[in-house]
Structure 1
Amino acid sequence: MKIFTEKAVKTHIISGFLGAGKTTLLQHLLQQKPEGEIWAVLMNEFGHIGIDQQLLPQDSGYEVKELLGGCLCCAGQLPMQIALSRLIFDKRPDRLFIEPTGLGHPAQLLEQLMEPQWQVQIDMRALVTVIDGSRLHDAAWVNQELYQDQLKAAQLVVVSHVDTMSEMDDLVLTQFKSDYFVSIQTWLLAKQGHLNIQQLDIPHQATQRKVVPLIQVQKKLNSTEQLPTVKQLPYHYVETSNGYTVVGWKFSKRWQFDFYELLDVLCEQTDWLRIKGIFNTDQGWMVFNFNPDHLNYKSGEQSLDNRIELITLHNRDWETFEMALLNCRIDQSEKTQ
């Protein structure tokens, strides 16, 4: 009787928007499987007809499981957990790739896989997001909320279709590297999906993030009790990553702010590396993108909420800043809500 020793399976999440090149990258990665090892793939199709699975190797040493209908990041937690358990315990793979649908939220999937019950079974590697380099010039494409969320979840970005990138695509990529310098440390250019597996074999670096009530609400709570974790608006969060502090707020989209008062508050801030925000103002929805060299703002599309994020090298008492933000509200009827 063969005795199996428990070992954590190296696990890669390969995320990316529709048509980014995830499956092409996965095909080339699978070709690098050492003889004698078993590699497994868990794929997720939003529709009910599986196609991508047929594009992957069906030879001995590969185990491919496909989940159809819906997104395993959001609604399919139980089916995902069952399928993942079967892959790990029945097949005992040496390496596992999880490819969520292009409409998925990889941060939610990662959060599930970082829960205690998976810690012994899974050795999580850096979350990969694949982006199509030849479409970076398409502002309507890259500014979609889901596209941005997938980038924010990444620790490592693979840029596909680099051989057809235009000068404008190159400029946008440079801007992306600047925008996401805190969370994304590695950007890899993959011509026709060719990358070495060792380039992706980087341990996942957990981000310490606390989502808590607004600071003014926190002051009303008992100082001896633990701060509650909140998921509804409004809320405040602080996270640390790679030596930086990221602090942010999200408010209801119904809250409206005085544009010029808000601009004054942002311009008065010191000791920051980046300020980004989008607000519902009396001048319409406005997008702010400040760096130490340029204080940029412009009209924007309606957002899901009001939000602002600051990046600094040092944490500090943010109560004064929060109070200044809230004093910019002009929807007086809702200020007590």
Structure 2
Amino acid sequence: MADPIAVNLITGFLGSGKTTTIRRLLQTHPRDQKWAVLVNEFGEIGIDGALLDADGVAVQEVAGGCLCCVAAPAFTTGLNRLIRRKRPDRILIEPSGLGHPAQVIETLTGPLYRDILDVRATLCILDARHLSSPRHREHAVFADQIHLADVLVANKADLYSAEDELALEQFLLALDPPKTRVTRCRYGDIDPALMDVRRDGQRRAAFPEAHAFLVEAAASDGHSAETITSPWLLIEGSEDGYQRASWTIEQQHAWPKSALEELLSGLPGERVKGLFRTDHGWMAVNDRDWSPITEPDDSRARLVLIDCAKLPVSEVDRRLRLIEESARTSA
């Protein structure tokens, strides 16, 4: 019988830096090992998956809802496909930033995978600046992502104020049970050895019934972006008090990066992520920070907005169409 596959769950709330952390780990993983990633996104469309796929690692995507509820069957299907087709030495699982990890851990450690997977530490990526926000501190999923983690990673530590550092220290002292390991980092740059910390099977969720997913409206009649072929697809929905809108667009021409920057920099959303073919090449935007990427296999433009307030969806859609029209007429 083959050795069990090492598995790590990497959780964290919106904007904590999960995908950046995973990309860092992939860049330094042992070259004699095959690693794979199972990624889940609330936004229906595969932005994180496309970024990771550009790193040349086997990626399986579960989009539209979180792994613990409506996407649960797709989770096991995707995981089985990764195991069967790639037979990796390690799998990193990235749930949605709004995903509750309890059911995922229960599935991974249950009888279905008991002899197949070696489930190791769950890592929670935390932006400690969120600890001063009641909206985060009082969110059940935020709390349980931390609660169920073996390792807590305080990411973006270079951005913390003295007040943030004090809030983090007080928060850590109050954790019961305490974390097995706590570390601070910048840009998701962590010690890979943290993944091999022993999992504590006694950790329990404080809010096991916290998560529910609801699709409010979808321009595709409720289907995901993977099942609909449309040159301009817009899907809206809500989850745990957060609104989201996601676009998948077949770009006919490169769009001016300056116009996209002007649009996205002025948006109120807590989460802004996208991939675009621009006049500067393929670019990824993550919380309004732009970086060049390799052209993804799926060459459609993608954009996801998430916020707790109502999003200006119609206005964003109108301006995106104006950018497309301008690019077309000037081509």
User: Aligning the two structures, in what range does the TM-score lie when normalised by the shorter sequence?
Assistant: 0.5 to 0.7
Shift of the alpha carbon at 1:143?
2.4
Answering whether residue 11 of structure 2 is matched by residue 15 of structure 1, we say yes
Give the equivalent residue in structure 2 for 1:52: 48
User: More deviation in 20-29 or 197-206?
Assistant: 197-206
**Structure showing greater relative contact order (alpha-carbon pairs closer than 8 Å, 6 or more residues apart):** 2
Select 2:189's aligned residue among 184, 187, 194.
194
| Inter-partner Cα distance in structure 2 for 1:35 and 1:140 | 42
| CA 200–59 in structure 1, closer or farther in 2 if over 3 Å, else same | closer
Select 2:88's aligned residue among 76, 89, 93.
93
| Inter-partner Cα distance in structure 1 for 2:132 and 2:79 | 37
Select 2:139's aligned residue among 144, 150, 153.
144
Q: Which amino acid aligns with 2:91?
A: L
Q: Deviations over 1:124-183 (max 9, x none)?
A: 111111111233222332222221121111111111110010111111111221121414
SS of the residue 1:96 aligns to: strand
Shift of the alpha carbon at 1:115?
0.7
Q: Deviations over 1:212-237 (max 9, x none)?
A: xxxxxxxxxxxxxxxxxxx99xxxxx
- Identity in percent: 37
Select 1:119's aligned residue among 114, 117, 121.
114
Q: Which amino acid aligns with 1:58?
A: A
Select 2:97's aligned residue among 86, 102, 107.
102
Answering whether residue 67 of structure 2 is matched by residue 72 of structure 1, we say yes
Give the equivalent residue in structure 2 for 1:207: 202
Runs of 4+ in 1 over 6 A off after TM superposition: 208-211
| CA 121–197 in structure 1, closer or farther in 2 if over 3 Å, else same | same
Give the equivalent residue in structure 2 for 1:310: none
Q: Which amino acid aligns with 2:39?
A: M
SS of the residue 1:125 aligns to: strand
The residue correspondences of 1:215-294 to structure 2 (distance < 5 A) are: none
Is the contact made by 2:10 and 2:93 (CA closer than 8 Å) also made in structure 1?
yes
Give the equivalent residue in structure 2 for 1:154: 149
Q: Which amino acid aligns with 1:168?
A: E
SS of the residue 1:157 aligns to: strand
Is the contact made by 2:150 and 2:180 (CA closer than 8 Å) also made in structure 1?
yes
Is the contact made by 2:17 and 2:155 (CA closer than 8 Å) also made in structure 1?
yes
SS of the residue 2:21 aligns to: helix
| Inter-partner Cα distance in structure 2 for 1:53 and 1:210 | 27
Is the contact made by 2:148 and 2:204 (CA closer than 8 Å) also made in structure 1?
no
Higher CA-based Rg: 1
Is the contact made by 2:41 and 2:65 (CA closer than 8 Å) also made in structure 1?
yes
SS of the residue 1:116 aligns to: coil
Q: Deviations over 1:2-61 (max 9, x none)?
A: xxx51211100000111111001001000112223210000001122111122225355x
Is the contact made by 1:137 and 1:172 (CA closer than 8 Å) also made in structure 2?
yes
TM, length-normalised to structure 2: 0.59
Is the contact made by 1:40 and 1:64 (CA closer than 8 Å) also made in structure 2?
yes
**Gapped regions of structure 2 (runs ≥ 5):** 210-331
Q: Deviations over 1:297-336 (max 9, x none)?
A: xxxxxxxxxxxxxxxxxxxxxxxxxxxxxxxxxxxxxxxx
Q: Deviations over 1:187-246 (max 9, x none)?
A: 1101111112112221212117799xxxxxxxxxxxxxxxxxxx99xxxxxxxxxxxxxx
| CA 101–59 in structure 1, closer or farther in 2 if over 3 Å, else same | closer
| CA 208–146 in structure 1, closer or farther in 2 if over 3 Å, else same | closer
Q: Which amino acid aligns with 1:160?
A: N
Shift of the alpha carbon at 1:185?
2.3
| CA 210–86 in structure 1, closer or farther in 2 if over 3 Å, else same | closer
Give the equivalent residue in structure 1 for 2:31: 35
